[in-house]
Structures are given as structure tokens and as C-alpha cells.
Amino acid sequence: MTKVIKNSIPNTVTCLNLFSGCIACVMAFEAKYELALLFIALSSIFDFFDGLLARMLNAHSIIGKDLDSLADDVSFGVAPSLIVFSLFKEMYYPASMEFIAPYMPYTAFLISVFSALRLAKFNNDTRQTSSFIGVPVPANALFWASLVAGIHPILISESFNPLYLLALVCLFSWLLVSETPMFSLKFKSLSWKDNKVSFSFLIICIPLLVFLKVSGFAAVIVWYILLSLLTGKRK
């Protein structure tokens, strides 16, 4: 009985991730972007702790692994897709684009599709035990949620063409499944020599979050991607 309870704890936290992700989807569909960001952030916290608890309790299971991927695709795949879907519906379309305006929002679901592909790759890629290849799905979700919540008036203004947003969707969808090495923030020591990339990342994150506030999270994700590309490291 004790073993059953112990094995259920990580899966319960994973279900909280899924529950929070479902609420994020509703908030996104209703264009309540700040709340969608909040619940995606909560899902990220639950996603961190379910793996941590599984390791601490030695409660790994095939069901837990599959459940985690399903929860992640809702919280970090479907939820950001719905954020972008709602945003596309609010955007200003010039006269030359009016004929495709009803169809543009559906391109947002490329994020869901490529997030699922990313998760399937991650589950079967032994190279990603201590680092990442391609942008992690929680990072991608936080990028979209914080971007839309942070600079929403700019995104729906006449100066921002919907094609720019479509290009971003395609770019980040590709980054999810790309072979781009991404460094990890897992510290084995506190020495600068062993962790200079991670320390450099964290140092720049502070002013980004202080000055850009909500949209600072999107800037942090962009900085993470750029630093990974510049260093070509996974540490």
C-alpha cells in the first residue's frame, strides 16, 4: 500500500500540471492572456516537481512517463497555440490579406504539432539526459505566453503585420525539433570555469526581467536560444 501511494505522488503532481494547463487553454481561448501566462507558469512548476519527486522517491514508471508527455503537450503545446490563435483573431489585417484572415489563426496549431514531435523525440533520445537538443516545450510556451501578455497592444496594432507572427510561429516550431544544442542550467559545481555559460545567462536575465517585466520572460527565452547558438554548448 505504501509503495502504491509513493508511486502515485509524482503522477498526482503531473495531473496538476495537466489541470493547470487545461485552465490555461480556457484563459487563452477567452483572450485572458495574463491568466493564461499564470497557469502556464504553474504548469511549469508542477512539471519541474513531478520529475524531481519521481527521482527522490524512486517512483519512475512507464505510465508516469507517458502521462507527463500528454500533460506537457496540453500545457505547453495546446495552451500556447490557443494564445496565438486568439491573438491572430484580434490582429489588424491589411486589405491585401483580408481573404486569408479567417484561416490565419489555424496556423497557430503548428505549435501544438511540433511540441508533440519535440516531446516524442525527447522521450526516445538518450542524448538529452543532461542537456537539450532543440528548444524545450516549457520554454517555448513561456515565450509565447509572456510575449502576448507583455506587448499585446503592439501585436494588434496596424504596424504589426500578421505575417510577422506567422514567421515567428514557423521559426519556433522549427526550433522545437531542430538539432540545435541547448545548454542546461544543471550545476555540478559553482565554479565559473565549469559553468560560465550558465552564469552568463543568469546575469543577463536579471536586467531583462527588471526592465521588461512580463515580456522579459520572452526576452529571457530569446537570450537562452541566442547564447546556445553562440556557444554551441550543452552545459
**pLDDT tens digits, residue range 9-33?**
888 999 999 999 999 999 999 999 9
Mean pLDDT for the stretch of residues 106-132:
85
pTM of the model: 0.91
When comparing pLDDT for 221 and 127, which is higher?
A: 221
* Position 1 confidence tier, pLDDT thresholds 50, 70, 90: low
Query: Cα(206)–Cα(208) distance, rounded to whole angstroms?
Result: 5
Mean pLDDT of the chain: 90
Mean pLDDT for the stretch of residues 122-148:
85
Residue 38 has pLDDT above 90, yes or no: yes
Mean pLDDT for the stretch of residues 149-153:
97
Largest distance between two CA atoms of the chain:
66
Q: In the chain, what are the domain boundaries?
A: 2-181
Task: Give pLDDT, residue 57.
Answer: 79
Give the percent of the chain with pLDDT over 90: 67
Task: Give pLDDT, residue 62.
Answer: 74
User: Residue 47 contacts by C-beta under 8 Å, 6 or more apart in sequence?
Assistant: 14, 17, 68, 71, 72, 75, 76, 138
Q: What is the per-residue pLDDT across 200-221, written as a single tens digit (0 to 9) for each?
A: 899 999 999 999 999 999 999 9
Query: Cα(233)–Cα(229) distance, rounded to whole angstroms?
Result: 8
* Position 235 confidence tier, pLDDT thresholds 50, 70, 90: very low
Residue 61 has pLDDT above 90, yes or no: no
Amino acid identity, residue 13?
V
- 164-171's contacts with Cβ under 8 Å and 24+ in sequence apart are 165/84, 165/87, 165/88, 165/91, 166/104, 166/107, 169/84, 169/107, 169/108, 169/110, 169/111, 170/110
> Rounded to whole angstroms, what are the CA distances from 209 to 39, 120, 136, 137, 229?
19, 32, 20, 20, 21
> Rounded to whole angstroms, what are the CA distances from 51 to 46, 110, 212?
9, 27, 31
Mean pLDDT for the stretch of residues 139-147:
97
Cβ contact 15:47 at 8 Å: no
Residue 151 has pLDDT above 60, yes or no: yes
* Position 64 confidence tier, pLDDT thresholds 50, 70, 90: confident
Give the percent of the chain with pLDDT over 70: 89
Highest mean pLDDT among 60-74, 98-112, 219-233: 98-112
Task: Give pLDDT, residue 234.
Answer: 45
Which CATH number, 3.40.1260.10, 3.40.50.920, 1.10.275.10, 1.20.120.1760, labels domain 2-181? 1.20.120.1760
